[in-house]
Structure 1
């Protein structure tokens, strides 16, 4: 039976992260960040003539979904509602949003940068008399590009 040795290299936990937005960058505390994904849509390309006709799949349009941020509601903290309220016809205040997964020392292990992000949806908490949970608001963002880098 072979004995495995551990090299000390472990996957990063997902609960230690930081989110910064705006210029100058301001840090905001969030309970959850989701939707940091991209998808390459495949298109079918046909080529050749009737005698030698074939098809192949090629990369098509790059598709990025909306990002969802969830955070607790604090007294006198309407920053995201104010940002959402600033959206008017043909006027959108776009921000750079940086999310960093942190290691045990608090240093960035991985960074996701959203370019020209703006709020598309705000959802406030549901209210329930017999609940004992924290009030959560949800901010959904659209963006024009996602950059991923180490550290």
Structure 2
């Protein structure tokens, strides 16, 4: 039996978008992964109870958050999606790192594109940093250790 492992700290991660690695993101919300259940009944079943089988899988959005700077790359990516650019899809990897900054888990998102872009309110009564958030839709999600 393998020895028990301590949980990893959630504050040590990096995001890679089509080969460009960034540690500038302050928060990543990994999506919920859901498989629909499909109820069915065979015509020869003697009971009215249904049987269930796995159906289609779907995911909530991958949400990336960072402090707003003059780097407009996320905004340009969102506008390319808005404008129907056919080359908007990108592959995204989110890596959880250990204390030595070595990857321990990687989540991969295939054919991702931005569907939501938002910036926190500008507030003269606050000294909080302005934050930019982008939500990504994607075709498939995989995880690897």
- 2:120 maps to 125
Q: Note the aligned Cα RMSD (angstroms).
A: 1.8
Give 2:13's match in structure 1, choosing from 5, 17, 20: 17
SS in 2 for 1:99: strand
Residue aligning to 1:84: 78
Would the aligned equivalents of 1:92 and 1:118 in 2 still touch at CA under 8 Å?
Answer: no
Structure 1 residues without counterparts, runs of 5 or longer: 1-6
2:46 & 2:7 partners in 1: Cα distance? 52
Which protein shows a greater Rg? 1
Q: Conserved in 2, the CA contact under 8 Å of 1:47 and 1:54? A: no
Stretch of structure 1 that moved more, 83-92 or 62-71: 83-92
Residue in structure 2 matching 1:140, options 123, 135, 142: 135
Q: Which runs of 5+ in 2 are unaligned?
A: none
**Length-normalised TM-score, structure 2:** 0.89
Deviation at 1:64, TM superposition (A): 1.1
* Separation (CA, whole Å) in 1 of partners of 2:46 and 2:109: 48
Indicate yes or no: 2:29 matched with 1:34: yes
1:149 & 1:50 partners in 2: Cα distance? 41
TM-score, structure 1 length as denominator? 0.86
Verify the 8 A CA contact 1:48 1:54 in the aligned structure 2. no
**Aligned-partner SS, 1:86:** helix
The secondary structure found in structure 1 opposite 2:42 is strand
